[in-house]
Amino acid sequence: MDWDALARQLAPLCSQPLMRNEPMRWHTTLRVGGPAALFYRVSDLNEFAQISEWAQSHHVPTFIMGHGSNILVSDAGIPALVIYNACERAIVGEQTVAETGIPIRELFLKTAQQGLSGLEFAVGIPGTLGGALVSNAGAYRQNIADLLIEIDLVSEGRRQRVAPDWMQFSYRDSRLRRPGAPPTALLAVRLRLTPDSKRAIFARARHLQRQRIEKQPPESSAGSFFKNVYDRALAERLPGLSAPLKEAGVVPAGFLIEACGLKGYQIGGASVSRKHANFLINRGDATASDFYQLAQTVKQAVYERFGVWLEEEVLYVGWGADVPQ
Ligand SMILES: Cc1cc2nc3c(=O)[nH]c(=O)nc-3n(C[C@H](O)[C@H](O)[C@H](O)COP(=O)(O)OP(=O)(O)OC[C@H]3O[C@@H](n4cnc5c(N)ncnc54)[C@H](O)[C@@H]3O)c2cc1C
């Protein structure tokens, strides 16, 4: 692909400069990742929609990102047009309309200040609303999908308004994470929130935030690297797993990794956090390849000990065909 020629073709649609070879490690919370072939930061929703329509109808490989808090970008980088979504407007009400580039914790603050409950779980999640939709982000048994009324998006070259079922949400998953998903830009959503007293909303959020601070390591990470395992039979045969988790049939990935003795295990500059085994952290000089090898080692160890393959919550970007994208 001739990226300079493509940049010239795209320029008339863009109000800001297009950048060549922007290092992705500057835009990901793991602080790793090689260059994006072409990088564009968009803050106007119509511009975002028009560029997406153009790119999709011209079959330009495109990767849309928010805050890079759920991706592991390869050291080779991303051979695509990377659109950094900074469209952040929101109109707050019982039906709140928000653009997908808004940081989800900012959306929580805006809605909570108006006495609207529903987003308390998002208070410590460092990504955008768009990234939250793709992985059906959540915490403490609440998920973003539960609040949705409708979604504006561009898919297969066309701007459309769809119902939440279009996304095929499940636990930390939607159709946009799966192989063969149609190229799609999520533009904005309408959410349903519930009136409540501000004092009660902030008290709940503070309580959740305290639990998070106790458990979460402070180093650069992408949050939980692996999904928890929903397997009742496994949960029942694990001594040391708490009764509520056994009852729910959920095994935290961190429990399995810790049981393999991998806390603190390190490859290059990437290691399994000593504070929370499901956090893979950058000790300062990690490469994407260190993280990839560490993740594979963890999966293999858990499989050998417990017979289950952990599935990544983090998405691999720019790794080629043999790694799930
Ligand atoms: C410290 C820490 C704590 C975390 N805690 C939680 C937690 O409690 N619960 C949880 O669920 N997650 C958690 N995460 C993971 C992450 O923050 C969430 O998944 C977040 O919602 C991702 O948003 P993002 O903007 O960073 O997405 P990115 O990482 O930038 O992108 C993720 C995926 O979404 C796609 N995408 C993003 N925006 C769009 C768009 N507008 N249109 C189409 N595709 C899009 C990207 O292409 C990519 O495939 C945590 C991460 C960290 C670092």
Q: Tokens for 168, please give them.
A: 């095929």
CB of 132 within 6 A of ligand 1: the answer is: yes
Nearest C-alpha neighbor of 46 from the set 98, 87, 80: 87
- What's the one-letter identity of residue 19? M
Name residue 72's beta-bridge partners: 316
Known catalytic residue at 170: no
Where do we find the tokens 């072939």? Answer: 37
The two beta strands, 35-42 and 19-23, are antiparallel
Q: How far is 211 from 302, CA to CA, in rounded Å? A: 26
Note if the pTM is more than 0.75.
yes
Pairing of strands 184-192, 148-155: antiparallel
pLDDT at 292: 98
Q: Which of 69, 224, 271, 273 is catalytic?
A: 224
224 among known catalytic residues: yes
Closest C-alpha among 126, 21, 121, 16 to residue 68: 126
Q: Which atom, in ligand 1's list, is nearest to the CA of 29? A: 53
Give CA–CA dist 106/161, Å, rounded: 24
Check if 155 is active-site: no
Intra-chain end-to-end CA distance of the chain, in Å:
20
- Position 322 scores a pLDDT of 57
- Top mutation candidate among 69, 314, 315 for ligand 1, by most atoms within 8 Å of CB: 69
In sequence order, the β-bridge partners of residue 229 are 251
Chain-centre distance for alpha carbon 315: 8
What would the two tokens of residue 175 be?
Answer: 């159709």
pLDDT tens, the chain, 325 aa long: 899 999 999 999 999 999 999 999 999 999 999 999 999 999 999 999 999 999 999 999 999 999 999 999 999 999 999 999 999 999 999 999 999 999 999 999 999 999 999 999 999 999 999 999 999 999 888 899 999 999 999 999 999 999 999 999 999 999 999 989 999 999 999 999 999 999 999 999 999 999 999 999 999 999 999 999 999 999 999 999 999 999 999 999 999 999 999 999 999 999 999 999 999 999 999 999 999 999 999 999 999 999 999 999 999 999 986 555 5
pLDDT of amino acid 300? 98
163, 229, 274, 271 alpha-carbon torsion, rounded to 10°: -70
Expressed in angstroms and rounded, the spacing between residue 222 Cα and the centre of ligand 1 is 9
Report which of 87, 39, 43 is spatially closest to residue 63, judged by C-alpha positions.
39
Where in 157-304 does DSSP place strands (E)? 158-162, 184-192, 194-195, 229-230, 250-251, 266-267, 270-272, 280-282
pLDDT at res. 158: 97
Q: For residue 149, which amino acid is it?
A: I
What tokens were used for 314? 């983090």
Domains of the chain: 3-85 (3.30.43.10), 90-199 (3.30.465.10), 217-322 (3.90.78.10)
CA torsion 210-313-110-148 (nearest 10°) is -130
At position 217, the amino acid (one-letter code) is P
Catalogue the E-assigned strands of the chain: 19-23, 35-42, 62-65, 71-73, 78-85, 90-91, 95-99, 116-117, 138-139, 142-143, 148-155, 158-162, 184-192, 194-195, 229-230, 250-251, 266-267, 270-272, 280-282, 315-317
Model pLDDT, residue 321: 66
Of the candidates 145, 120, 33, 142, the one whose C-alpha atom is nearest the C-alpha of residue 84 is 33
Does 134 sit in the ligand 1 pocket, CB within 6 Å?
Answer: yes
Q: What is the pLDDT of residues 200-223, one digit of tens each?
A: 999 999 999 999 999 999 999 999
Q: How far is the CA of 99 from the centre of ligand 1 (A)?
A: 15
Residue from 19, 24, 22, 30 nearest 312 by CA:
30
